[in-house]
């Protein structure tokens, strides 16, 4: 696993740079703001998130460990792949993205290319308490009157439903039932 690269930038290509490390050139996807700093001939030190798929082996580089960790958090959300995570990181600074997630600013998050409202809501529900900031009490107001800590809502969102749809599916189902039973009943209602 490649965790960090230190070397010289030798090429730029739209959203990536080539970093020469002892004669081996690594293609690394970087955020737009970092791309402008990483000029040809400059030395760089990047924290790497390596993603290996059947048809691709991609490296994503970040100048700070915390930004790499935010990227890893974003890609852990169902529906957010590496390109969408990079798009989210490109719409603002790391602090702005963390604040948007903690405050439930789905409009800000969905401004990223390829990220819709449902995915933005899922990101807030999954990550609001993981971004290192105090989550706003109103972060998940878009869930309606269903409790924010409702595991059934979070499970339905993880299955691909929007937070609004999840709360609608659970409306009228006894909240005292076990979570797995509530989920089964909600999915039966959907049919």
SS3 61: strand
Which pLDDT tens digit goes with each residue over 18-44? 999 999 999 999 999 898 889 999 999
Cα–Cα dist 173/180, whole Å: 12
Q: What is the DSSP letter of 131?
A: S
Residues present in the chain in total:
191
Long-range contacts of 92-99 (CB under 8 A, 24+ apart): 93/33, 94/64, 94/66, 94/67, 94/70, 97/70, 98/70, 98/131, 98/132, 98/133, 99/133
Cα–Cα dist 144/11, whole Å: 49
Which pLDDT tens digit goes with each residue over 78-121? 889 999 999 999 999 998 998 888 888 889 999 999 898 888 88
Would you say domain 141-190 falls under CATH 3.30.2320?
Answer: no
Which pLDDT tens digit goes with each residue over 119-178? 888 888 888 778 766 555 555 555 554 444 577 877 877 777 776 777 778 877 887 788
Would you state the pLDDT for residue 135? 56
Give the domain 1-63 fold: OB fold (Dihydrolipoamide Acetyltransferase, E2P) (2.40.50)
| CATH 1.10.150.20 boundaries in the chain | 65-136
| CATH 2.40.50.140 boundaries in the chain | 1-63
Q: What is the DSSP letter of 143?
A: G
| CATH 1.10.8 boundaries in the chain | 141-190
State in words which class domain 65-136 has.
Answer: mainly alpha
- Both structure tokens of 56: 């691709």
Average pLDDT, integer, range 40-55? 93
- Both structure tokens of 68: 């790499």
């Amino acid at each position: 696993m490649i965790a960090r690269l230190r070397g010289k930038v030798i090429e730029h290509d739209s959203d990536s740079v080539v970093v020469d490390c002892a004669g081996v050139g690594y293609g690394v996807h970087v955020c737009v703001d970092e791309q402008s700093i990483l000029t040809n001939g400059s030395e760089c030190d990047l924290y790497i998130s390596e993603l290996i798929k059947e048809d691709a082996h991609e490296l994503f580089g970040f100048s700070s460990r915390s930004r790499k960790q935010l990227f890893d958090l974003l890609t852990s959300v169902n529906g957010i792949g590496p390109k969408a995570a990079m798009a989210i990181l490109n719409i603002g600074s790391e602090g702005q993205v963390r604040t948007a997630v903690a405050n439930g600013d789905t409009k800000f998050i969905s401004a990223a290319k390829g990220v819709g409202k449902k995915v933005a809501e899922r990101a807030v529900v999954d990550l609001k308490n993981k971004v290192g900031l105090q989550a706003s009490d109103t972060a998940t107001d878009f869930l309606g009157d269903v409790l924010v800590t409702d595991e059934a809502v979070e499970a339905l969102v993880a299955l691909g439903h929007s937070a609004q749809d999840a709360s609608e599916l659970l409306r009228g189902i006894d909240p005292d039932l076990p979570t797995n039973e509530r989920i089964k009943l909600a999915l039966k209602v959907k049919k």
